[in-house]
């Protein structure tokens, strides 16, 4: 088989039907017929719907060229005005991995996964260009530009995640890099006006680690027509709470509803693990966010 | 053919080899062997690398169930702590489309595409939950939470884009919804603490509209190991400038290098089309961004 010319079949979700994939994704929370069971379907969409975050990885290394394939996929995502405001850094050094894991609240999978990628919202590259060309970039200090850099990095990373899933790999995003962006920047030698927006673990799932597809809110809550419509929200949330409680019991022991989880996560500032300092820290790293 | 059980083949990029896809994505700007021509490959990755933004659409409607499939793909993306901080709204009303197109600097494809989706960074849903449960969400006013909502929306939207591409559809993101987020919020009846982060046109590409794959910066500029390394940047930028000048001549008439485009786009505040007011406007929409 010549990998240069012959696409091989996706392996992560082969044979899953649309009805089965939708049932896993929405559980019993979705109102009947929402989403409809007819509609387009193919292997790529099966792979997308089969996504689940995985926190237990085998030590097996990735095949040669995998990293570059993931980055090519990432670069193929749209980027605002082709500004390409992101950079990725791989971290292999065990000591650095260990400290990053500690910053993230002792997430051991950061140490254990075969590939750890940091995704950087990066205004520094284009600033270096402007310095070389002796032209000022007046747009850098604004919230808009910060927002574009974060969105650019997210679009790129998500393409890498989709590519990884299509290769039978699993991933988990690590938002907790933002617990201490200054120390993370120091560890990676980042220039001013760049910071790690999030990390990403990539590897083969440990078959011993449970990783069922997590149900989401019914579409009636997240998809509206013409104008915002919160009407179905209460009904949907009650159904979803029940569904996520069952999911939690099956997978994470503590049977907790979505409502209770969100209130615990978004209620107290203490739950932010230091991320309430993000604005002040980013200011020190060169982001004015005016 | 039963779409419920039998995945159909992706059609957007069938038969493209890894070598050809990489050559289109990087042009002649990439140093030899970067990215390597060996490595994993399949239809999904071919589809990812074949992405291009399209601004000319046929009027043909999408097959039934397509919208719901795109949203199911979007909801299958990771979301920080399962908070699901986004909402999507479709806009069909021609008068609303027309005003959105005007806000975006007269982007006619917003009026012409068969599906226009607004992607909302949405803190309002979880706030309504907290009000119903009489529990305060202390984390709402912080930059961190704003950032998570934007990233959540971007991860979701990118999955919808990948799904659309896999169905032979094309898309273009509309960041220019941020030219006037207050008026956009009014048009869509958004509650406080939500705003349209970006729009997305979806449809079948008009074969008369040119839409070649746009080359990106060489991987040596965007992918680093262990620590940030700007060393290859100058060499890569010169090569990429030449490549993008050729691309522009073939596709957009004005043969302009990447450097000149970025300096024009990021240099003067005037190029922000009002987005320098994003922070002030979002404050009025309920985002404190502390």
Closest CB from B140, B173, B178 relative to A78? B173
Report how far residue B71's alpha carbon sits from residue B160's, in angstroms, rounded to the nearest whole number. 6
Cβ contacts (< 8 Å) between B35 and chain A: which residues? 65, 68-69, 71-72
Closest CB from B76, B219, B265 relative to A51? B76
Distance from CA of A87 to the nearest CA of B (A): 5
pLDDT tens digit string along B118-163? 999 999 999 999 999 999 999 999 999 999 999 999 999 999 999 9
Over its C-alpha atoms, chain B yields an Rg (Å, rounded) of 21
* Residues 60-119 of chain A whose Cβ lies under 8 A from any Cβ of chain B: 63-69, 71-73, 75-84, 86-93, 96
User: Mind listing the domains of chain A with CATH numbers?
Assistant: 18-209+232-284 (3.40.109.10)
> How many CB pairs below 8 Å do chains A and B form together?
461
CB contact under 8 A, A259 and B129: yes
Q: Would you call the peptide bond into B35 cis, given omega within 30 degrees of 0 as the criterion? A: yes
What is the pairing mode between strands B194-203 and B170-174? antiparallel
Q: What is the mean pLDDT of each run of 10 residues along chain B (290 residues)?
A: 35 73 88 81 94 96 96 98 98 98 98 98 97 96 98 98 97 98 98 98 93 94 98 96 93 86 96 97 98
Cβ contacts (< 8 Å) between B194 and chain A: which residues? 228
* Residues 235-254 of chain A whose Cβ lies under 8 A from any Cβ of chain B: 237, 244
pLDDT tens digit string along B79-115? 999 999 999 999 999 999 999 999 999 999 999 999 9
Distance from CA of A210 to the nearest CA of B (A): 17
Going by the DSSP 8-state scheme, the letter that residue B108 receives in this structure is T
Task: Note the pLDDT of residue A201.
Answer: 98
pLDDT tens digit string along A111-127? 999 999 999 999 999 99
Distance from CA of A71 to the nearest CA of B (A): 7
Report how far residue A17's alpha carbon sits from residue B266's, in angstroms, rounded to the nearest whole number. 46
Q: Which residue is closest to B290 within chain A, CA to CA?
A: A279
Closest CB from B82, B222, B261 relative to A75? B222
Q: Which two tokens stand for residue B77?
A: 């993306």
Task: Note the pLDDT of residue B10.
Answer: 36
Distance from CA of A118 to the nearest CA of B (A): 10
* Residues 185-214 of chain B whose Cβ lies under 8 A from any Cβ of chain A: 188-191, 194, 197-198, 213-214
Cβ contacts (< 8 Å) between A226 and chain B: which residues? 89-93, 96, 188
Task: Note the pLDDT of residue A95.
Answer: 98
DSSP bridge pairs for A120: A87, A196
* Residue A182 · residue A285 · CB < 8 Å: yes
Quick one: which H or E segment has residue B237? helix B233-251
* Residues 131-190 of chain A whose Cβ lies under 8 A from any Cβ of chain B: 132-133, 135-140, 142-145, 147-148, 150-151, 154-155, 157-159, 161-163, 166-167, 171-173, 175, 178, 188-190
Report how far residue A189's alpha carbon sits from residue B204's, in angstroms, rounded to the nearest whole number. 44
CB contact under 8 A, B92 and A226: yes
Please state, in angstroms and as integers, the Cα–Cα distance from residue A207 to each residue in A169, A212, B109, following that order. Answer: 12, 11, 46
Write the secondary structure of chain A as one string of H (helix), E (strand) and C (coil).
Answer: CCCCCCCECCCCCCCCCHHHHHHHHHCCCCCCCCCCCCCCCEHHHHHHHCCCECCCECCCCCCCCHHHHHHHHHHCCCCHHHCCCEEEEECCCHHHHHHHHHHCCCCCHHHHCCEEEEEEEECHHHHHHHHHCCCCCCCCCCHHHHHHHHHHHHHHHHHHHHHHHHCCCEEEEEHHHHHCHHHHHHHCCCCCCEEEEEEEEEECECCCCCCCCCCCCCHHHHEEECCCCCCCHHHHHHHHHHHHHHHHHHHCCCCCCHHHHHHHHHCCHHHHCCHHHHHHHHHHCCCCCC
Cβ contacts (< 8 Å) between A79 and chain B: which residues? 216
Task: Note the pLDDT of residue A8.
Answer: 36
CB contact under 8 A, A40 and B88: no
Task: Note the pLDDT of residue A240.
Answer: 96
CB contact under 8 A, A91 and B226: yes
Burial track A242-279 (b if 16+ CB lie within 10 A, e otherwise): ebbbbbbeeeeeeebbbbbbbbebbbeeeebbbbbbbb
CB contact under 8 A, B41 and A143: no
Closest CB from A71, A144, A155 relative to B278? A144
CB contact under 8 A, B166 and A7: no
Cβ contacts (< 8 Å) between B86 and chain A: which residues? 222
* Residues of chain A under the 70 pLDDT cut: 1-14
* Mean of all residue pLDDT scores within chain B: 93
């Amino acid at each position: 088989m010549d990998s240069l010319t012959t696409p091989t079949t996706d392996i992560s979700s082969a044979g899953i039907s649309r009805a089965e994939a939708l049932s896993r994704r929405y559980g019993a929370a979705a109102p009947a017929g929402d989403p409809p069971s007819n509609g387009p379907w193919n292997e790529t969409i099966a792979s997308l719907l089969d996504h689940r975050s995985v926190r237990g990885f085998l030590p097996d290394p990735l095949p040669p060229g995998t990293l570059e394939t993931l980055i090519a996929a990432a670069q193929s995502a749209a980027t605002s005005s082709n500004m390409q405001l992101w950079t990725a850094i791989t971290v292999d050094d065990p000591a650095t991995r260990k400290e990053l894991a500690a910053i993230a609240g002792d997430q051991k999978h950061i140490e254990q996964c075969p590939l750890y990628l940091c995704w950087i919202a990066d205004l520094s590259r284009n600033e270096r260009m402007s310095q070389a060309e002796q032209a000022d970039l007046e747009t850098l200090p604004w919230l808009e530009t910060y927002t574009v850099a974060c969105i650019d990095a997210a679009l790129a990373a998500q393409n890498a995640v989709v590519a990884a899933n299509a290769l039978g790999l699993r991933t988990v995003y690590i938002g907790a890099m933002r617990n201490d962006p200054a120390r993370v920047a120091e560890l990676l030698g980042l220039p001013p006006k760049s910071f790690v927006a999030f990390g990403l673990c990539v590897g083969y799932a440990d078959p011993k680690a449970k990783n069922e597809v997590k149900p989401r809110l019914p579409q009636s809550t997240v998809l509206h027509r013409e104008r915002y419509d919160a009407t179905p929200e209460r009904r949907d949330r009650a159904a979803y709470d029940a569904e996520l409680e069952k999911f939690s019991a099956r997978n994470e022991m503590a049977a907790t509803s979505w409502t209770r989880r969100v209130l615990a996560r978004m209620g107290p500032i203490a739950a932010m693990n230091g991320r309430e300092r993000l604005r002040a820290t980013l200011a020190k790293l060169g982001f004015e966010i005016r």
